[in-house]
Structure 1
């Protein structure tokens, strides 16, 4: 479990996060949503250890980040997988070498062991015979699957995704959503997704946290979001045609 306890984060006089608390459980896909400037990107970077809150703390399975030594923080980093918004693949490296990158950085595996692990995760994301290809030779959806393969190659406890469906068509986005949810359940990871895609939120948002101006304005799930009377939430999500249709169905039930 990840426990976020009353974290505050500022940059100069700009107070971004204002006492946000939350818990995230393994085997569950959690979505962080909010408009631009709400603090969701800063929140995600705090969870990743890229930003240090001035107040409050983040606890990873009973380990408080603020009390960790540099060595312990490095060990924690090995337990984290990250899917970046643009995929962040190395254009000049093959798919196999892209996925090997965390293994080379954090393990002492032999070349053969790394190749075996690469093939395993590529098979898990339903990609075959792409080891020697370069990112530019793959479609956008396939590149995202490679990014997911790289994120899980270390068998992480925690998976963080920043706008994983950015730039994808709706059908491909559904494939990526389903893949992330399947992997989360299969490996019992704690998965936290920063997203503005309401289709994704309503498809796999087992837990949803809505941030507004640095505060946790609302918390629920893809089921309860349909019935909320929180005006800030409905103002944010009601622009989605899918939300309108589903809310009408749920309100009639």
Structure 2
């Protein structure tokens, strides 16, 4: 579990995060949503330890990040998997080499042990025969699955995803959503996803944190988001006629 308490982050005189409190539980997919400029990316980078913050605390299963020494922070980083928005694969490495990279960085496993683990995670994301392909030979959806395989190869406790469906067609986006949720459930991972994809929110948002101008404006789930009267949330979520119709149908069915 990740606990965030009274988190504040500024750049010079610009106050980005303004006292955010929330928790992200094990075995659940949690989505952070909000308009551009709401603080989502800065929030994610604070969770990852990439940005320092002026006030508040972030703790990982009871370990407060700011109280950890360098060795403890390195050990924590080894427990974190990250799926970047653009997949961020190394163009000069094969798919298998990309997936093996975190094992080489954070473990002392033998080559055969690393190869066995790489085989396992590539099979888990349905890329059994892609080991020797280069990233340039893979479709956008395949690259996302490689990125997920790389993120889970160290068997992380925490998984962070930054816009994992960016650039994907709707059908492939659903495949990626389902894969992330299945892996979260299977391995009891604490998963946090930055997203603007409302289909993801409705499908896998077991917890949703809505940011507005650096504040936590609302939190709930994909079930309760249909019921909220919070105007900030409804203006964002139901900006399209499709979601307005879905919400109306849901409310009528659950009167």
- The two structures have a TM-score, normalised by structure 2, of 0.98
Q: Which residue of 1 aligns with 2:98?
A: 98
Contact 1:198 1:240 (8 Å CA) reproduced: no
> How far apart, in 2, do the equivalents of 1:245 and 1:101 lie?
46
> How far apart, in 1, do the equivalents of 2:188 and 2:222 lie?
20
Task: From the superposition, tell whether residues 241 and 154 of structure 1 become closer, same or farther in structure 2 (CA, over 3 Å).
Answer: farther
Residues 38-77 of structure 1 correspond to what in structure 2 (within 5 A)?
Answer: 38-77=38-77
> How far apart, in 1, do the equivalents of 2:53 and 2:83 lie?
22
The C-alpha deviation readout for 1:139-176, integer Å capped at 9, x for no partner, is 11011000000000000000000000000000000000
Q: Which residue of 1 aligns with 2:252?
A: 252
> How far apart, in 2, do the equivalents of 1:245 and 1:110 lie?
56
Q: Which residue of 2 aligns with 1:223?
A: 223
> How far apart, in 2, do the equivalents of 1:221 and 1:104 lie?
38
Deviates more, 1:232-241 or 1:3-12: 232-241
> How far apart, in 2, do the equivalents of 1:115 and 1:246 lie?
46
Residues 2-151 of structure 1 correspond to what in structure 2 (within 5 A)?
Answer: 2-151=2-151
Q: How far apart are residue 101 of structure 1 and its match? A: 0.6
> How far apart, in 2, do the equivalents of 1:227 and 1:33 lie?
17
Provide the secondary structure at the position in 2 that maps to 1:126. coil
Residues 197-212 of structure 1 correspond to what in structure 2 (within 5 A)?
Answer: 197-212=197-212
Q: How far apart are residue 111 of structure 1 and its match? A: 1.1
Q: How far apart are residue 243 of structure 1 and its match? A: 2.1
RMSD: 0.8
Q: Answer yes or no: is 1:243 the counterpart of 2:255.
A: no
Provide the secondary structure at the position in 1 that maps to 2:239. coil
> How far apart, in 2, do the equivalents of 1:4 and 1:240 lie?
32
> How far apart, in 1, do the equivalents of 2:245 and 2:128 lie?
38
> How far apart, in 2, do the equivalents of 1:151 and 1:238 lie?
32
> How far apart, in 2, do the equivalents of 1:115 and 1:172 lie?
28
Gaps of 5+ in 2: none
Gaps of 5+ in 1: none
> How far apart, in 1, do the equivalents of 2:87 and 2:242 lie?
26
Size of the aligned set, in residue pairs, is: 253
Q: Which residue of 2 aligns with 1:174?
A: 174
The C-alpha deviation readout for 1:116-141, integer Å capped at 9, x for no partner, is 00000001111111111001111110
Provide the secondary structure at the position in 2 that maps to 1:210. strand
Provide the secondary structure at the position in 2 that maps to 1:136. helix
